[in-house]
Amino acid sequence: MRRFYCHCGQEVFFDNTYCNRCNSILGFDTEQQKLISIEPFKGQFRSVQLPEQHYKRCMHHQHLMQCNWLLPVGDIFTQCLSCRLTRVIPNQNYPYNVKRWAVLEAAKRRMIYGLLRLGLPIHQWPAADTQQLQFHFLEDQISNPIDGHEQVFSGHAAGIITLNASEADTSYREATREAMNEPYRTLLGHFRHEIGHFYWEKLIKNQPIYTQFKALFGDDTVDYSQALATYYEKGPPEDFQQEYISAYASAHALEDWAETWAHYLLMYETLETAVEFDVIHPPETDREFHVWLSEWMQLALVLNALNRSIGNADAYPFVVSTRVQKKLQFIHDLMQG
């Protein structure tokens, strides 16, 4: 994540809606990929030239949602680039769902920030393309026996990313993480994983690069539900870390892809943050994957050591084997292209 500054000089952060030094309203410009001051707060700093005439705020900037993304003032949309991708939300008559929706959108904005930084298209698909990106946040009967869906599995199908709204609750997520014996489970990680499935359809499937994908990740035509059932019954192979970035990646070639893709996004944004804070030097050139990777390994080591000193669990509970490095490089080369 880049570093941002208010026009008054104060450092401000991605989710901030106003500057806590000068009270200016802040907004995220998706074109510049930058948080900027858009208007002075209640009559202060009238003499400062601010670009408020160029922008309007996303309609979800108020209440709990606090979306701080901006649109060009003449845009036909009232929701920002991120918010308007959401098509189904859990019943807002329940106050806990109002909170969940806000938490989900905040994580989604950060994921989309990563896509913007990588220059990946989000809305720009031909109208004839039947797979347009959209998000459905659904509640199931575990949290709402009265009007929740019977059962909601997070996943991607034909452009639609479905997330169980309960994933927005820390207690639910932690309990699930423990039950599934996972070292890492975050909302941001869910979004990065599911969007990986979406981009697989766009960038890999039926593309010349598919052969290369298959050689690295395996056969995606293997029966998916059967593979998942086997994984949940037997678990991952004992030495899964030799081959996969996570246990779940061993379930099916497409899950391996989504897990590795999510991991690439995690590394990319965290490296950007580290460079911005002068923790590491930027790699000489973006194309040099091995330089980039060795910077990452150093950084991950420090990250975990710092967390142990604080008394937290490892922030980065992963092993990046030689085989996984090859898969990450494949994604890196794809992004460079």
The contact set with Zn ion (CB under 5 A) reads 6, 8, 10, 19, 21-22, 24, 58, 60, 67, 69, 80, 83
Which amino acid is it at 62? Q
Question: 78 or 294, CB closer to Zn ion?
Answer: 78
Q: Give which of 33, 45, 52, 58 is closest to 9, Cα–Cα.
A: 45
Angle CA(110)–CA(140)–CA(66) in degrees, nearest 5? 30
- Using a CB cutoff of 8 Å and minimum separation of 24, what contacts does 221-228 make? 222/252, 222/253, 224/252, 224/254, 227/251, 227/252, 228/252, 228/255
- C-alpha 231/C-alpha 225 separation (Å) is 10
Amino acid occupying residue 301? L
- The Cα 197–Cα 202 span in angstroms is 9
Judged by beta carbon, residue 77 or residue 231, the one nearer Zn ion is 77
Q: State the nearest-atom distance from the C-beta of 70 to Zn ion, in Å.
A: 9
Cβ 18 to Zn ion shortest distance, Å: 8
Cβ atoms of 187 and 174 within 8 Å: the answer is no
In angstroms, give the least distance from the CB of 120 to Zn ion: 19
At residue 162, φ and ψ (nearest 5 deg) are -105, 135
Looking at the Cβ atoms of 77 and 94, the one nearer to Zn ion is 77
Which residue, 48 or 302, has its beta carbon nearer to Zn ion?
A: 48
16 vs 241 by CB, closer to Zn ion = 16
CA–CA separation, 45 vs 331, rounded Å?
A: 46
Closest separation in Å from C-beta 105 to Zn ion: 7
Residue nearer to Zn ion on the CB measure, 6 or 168: 6
User: Nearest-CA neighbor of 329 among 181, 213, 193?
Assistant: 213
Instruction: Write down the least CB distance from residue 61 to Zn ion, Å.
Output: 7
Query: What is the three-class DSSP state of 101?
Result: helix
Report the nearest approach of Zn ion to the CB of residue 71 (Å): 9
Nearest to Zn ion of 30, 250 (CB atom):
30
CA 320, 322, 328, 329 dihedral sign is positive
Smallest gap from residue 68 Cβ to Zn ion (A) = 8
How far is Cα 305 from Cα 303, in angstroms, rounded to an integer?
6
Q: Which two tokens stand for residue 122?
A: 């989000």
Residue 131 CB, shortest distance to Zn ion, in Å, is 23
> Three-state SS for 331?
helix
Largest Cα separation within the chain, whole Å, is: 67
Q: Tell me whether residue 21 or residue 34 sits nearer to Zn ion (CB atom).
A: 21
